Structure 1
Amino acid sequence: MTDESVDYPGLIVPVGHVEPVPRRIRAQVGGQWVFNTRRAVYVWEWPGYPQYSIPLRDLAEGVLTDDGRTGRLAPGPARRHSLRVGSEVREGAAWVWDEGAPEVLIGTARFRWDAIDAWYEEEEQVFVHPRSPYTRVDALRSSSSVRVEVDGTVLADAPSSVKLFETGLPTRYYVERAYVDWALLRFSDKVTACPYKGRTSGYWSFVSGAVTHDNVAWAYDFPTVSCSAIAGMVAFYNEHVDLHVDGVLLPRPTALSRTQWDEQQRVRS
């Protein structure tokens, strides 16, 4: 039986998969470079996206200290290390792959993403996690109309949209701000980031009397170049609103949201 709430391609990369990174990868802690390499590899510890594994020979001298703790990550065994850069110390910042891990990972270290202050691919900073070479994100202008409702109240009614297709996630429908009823929405201080789209410029909650639905809408005023078509537009979580596209009510998706993927990364790091 087909799940009608799933309208997008699934993730295809198996856990433990390793691929070369063709991009220069650099990282900073406390304003100092921790590594600069053209020999990194992608390693998938879960299906959603990879992590970088960095050759030890490309690290700044003496920055890693063995914590004396071993563990087994999805691709294989590893030893936990702390990171020291000047006066900055990041406990348990990295796992150095141990014997029994895939051979290509031996002699490399997988860093916890938030143990690094800033990651760079070539000259562009990367947020949240590495961009997967198997994930595609397309923002396409569309003549599809979009009506958004919560509890029978119309929040937006737009004659056209931009559809954002991202591998492994539900299709998102962005509408022009002129078609949103801002009297029903309250600005939130929530901020999220995406390696493919950039950093959000705003979230809004639906407020009607005593009823509140938190952070149901968001916008990217300054998205990445590849997603420039959504600049300044507003999208609503399909999971939390009633979304009518060309007059047809869409089933609410059951897939993991971006926030849930981020939480998985935090827990597994």
Structure 2
Amino acid sequence: MSQIASFPFALPHIEPSPRRVRVLFGGEYIVDTQEALLVWLKPYYPYYFFKVKDVQEKYLVDAFQSQKHHLYDIVVGNRRAEAAATIYHDDELDGLIQLEFSEMDAWFEEDEQIYVHPKDPYKRVDVLHSSRRVRVEVNGVEVASTTRPRILYETSLPIRYYIPKTDCKLELLIPSSSSTECPYKGVASYYNIHLPSGESFEDLVWYYRTPQLECAEIKGCLAFYNEKVDIYVDDVLQPRPQRPGSKRASAAAVAL
């Protein structure tokens, strides 16, 4: 089932958040409110929007105005985030302000820091231990085989098979400098795959060194990019998932 098909509301969809939300920039909380709004501009995940009163005017410096948007730089002391605030003048979003998540120093729900984007209240992530046999091949070369996978089910995203490191052919894995963040799992690190034939494949494998508590069971396990490798479950080749965007693009939004 696609993410678009499973999203139950018309867009944009707006809901009040029951959580206290704070946004830190330049050493100051430029937002501290109990009236934040969760807004879905697209079906994949929500953004936080605020009432204009919740962002002090002293932090906003005029940048650009169009018919439907008014953009502001956010300035605190000698720190400036260009065009990082948008006030909407358009239908349901009229009078609301959005801050660019990645331009801020930190976001907090209550006293817990959040990453990448707010968690979707309609999304569920489950990690289940399994005894099914999972094998991974790259261009016909087996790179992993296990009968003790952790299978991660995440609403509207492909199933991910996390395999204990000791069941992977580590001699074929070369550490990558890449990293991404997931709001549900934490910070992911990557491996490239280097086959005996000399072929190399970048960032086909990822893992979470210190996953967040809700996904703690994937610690010490590696996941292979289903869309680009062959995965056999109980000797049945699994179809490669098709979904909008690449893993790299989605990691900034929904991660892996």
* TM-based fold match above 0.5: yes
Q: Structure 1: how far apart are the matches of 2:184 and 2:193?
A: 27
Shift of 1:123: 1.4
**Offset from partner CA, 1:204-260 (integer Å, 9 cap, x none):** 111124311111111112111111111111110101110001111101111134422
Identity %: 37
Q: Partner amino acid for 1:206?
A: I
Does 2:141 correspond to 1:162?
no
Q: Partner amino acid for 2:113?
A: Q
Q: Structure 2: how far apart are the matches of 1:18 and 1:258?
A: 27
Q: Which residue of 2 aligns with 1:52?
A: 48
Instruction: Say if 1:242 and 1:9 are closer, same or farther in 2 by CA, change over 3 A.
Output: farther
Q: Structure 2: how far apart are the matches of 1:196 and 1:44?
A: 18
Does 2:250 correspond to 1:261?
yes
Q: Which residue of 2 aligns with 1:74?
A: none
RMSD: 2.1
Q: Structure 2: how far apart are the matches of 1:210 and 1:7?
A: 36
Unaligned stretches of 5+ in structure 2? none
What are the residue-to-residue correspondences of 1:85-104 with 2, within 5 Å? 85-98=76-89, 100-102=90-92
Q: Which residue of 1 aligns with 2:192?
A: 205
Q: Partner amino acid for 1:176?
A: P
Shift of 1:9: 9.2
Aligned residues: 251
Instruction: Say if 1:174 and 1:94 are closer, same or farther in 2 by CA, change over 3 A.
Output: same
**Offset from partner CA, 1:98-154 (integer Å, 9 cap, x none):** 2x321xx44431111122111111111111111111111111111221100001111
Matched residue SS, 2:53: helix
Does 2:172 correspond to 1:184?
yes
Q: Partner amino acid for 2:227?
A: E
Q: Partner amino acid for 2:20?
A: R
1:141 to 115, 124, 129: 129
Q: Partner amino acid for 2:145?
A: D
Conserved? CA contact 2:181–2:252, under 8 Å: no
Shift of 1:7: 8.9
Shift of 1:51: 0.7
Does 2:235 correspond to 1:244?
no
What are the residue-to-residue correspondences of 1:54-69 with 2, within 5 Å? 54-69=50-65
1:222 to 210, 228, 245: 210
Instruction: Say if 1:162 and 1:8 are closer, same or farther in 2 by CA, change over 3 A.
Output: farther
Q: Structure 2: how far apart are the matches of 1:137 and 1:241?
A: 23
Instruction: Say if 1:262 and 1:45 are closer, same or farther in 2 by CA, change over 3 A.
Output: farther
Conserved? CA contact 1:11–1:48, under 8 Å: no
Does 2:30 correspond to 1:34?
yes
Instruction: Say if 1:196 and 1:10 are closer, same or farther in 2 by CA, change over 3 A.
Output: farther
Matched residue SS, 2:15: strand
Conserved? CA contact 1:7–1:171, under 8 Å: no
Conserved? CA contact 2:116–2:253, under 8 Å: no
**Offset from partner CA, 1:158-217 (integer Å, 9 cap, x none):** 0121111112210000011110001111110110100011111x3111112431111111
With 54-63 and 89-98 compared, the bigger mean Cα shift is at: 54-63
Shift of 1:40: 0.5
Q: Partner amino acid for 2:91?
A: A
Matched residue SS, 1:192: strand
Instruction: Say if 1:24 and 1:163 are closer, same or farther in 2 by CA, change over 3 A.
Output: same
Instruction: Say if 1:193 and 1:93 are closer, same or farther in 2 by CA, change over 3 A.
Output: same
Conserved? CA contact 1:139–1:227, under 8 Å: yes
Q: Structure 1: how far apart are the matches of 2:144 and 2:214?
A: 25
**Offset from partner CA, 1:52-83 (integer Å, 9 cap, x none):** 00122222451112324126xxxxx3311111
Q: Structure 2: how far apart are the matches of 1:249 and 1:8?
A: 24
Using the size of structure 1 for normalisation, the TM-score is 0.87
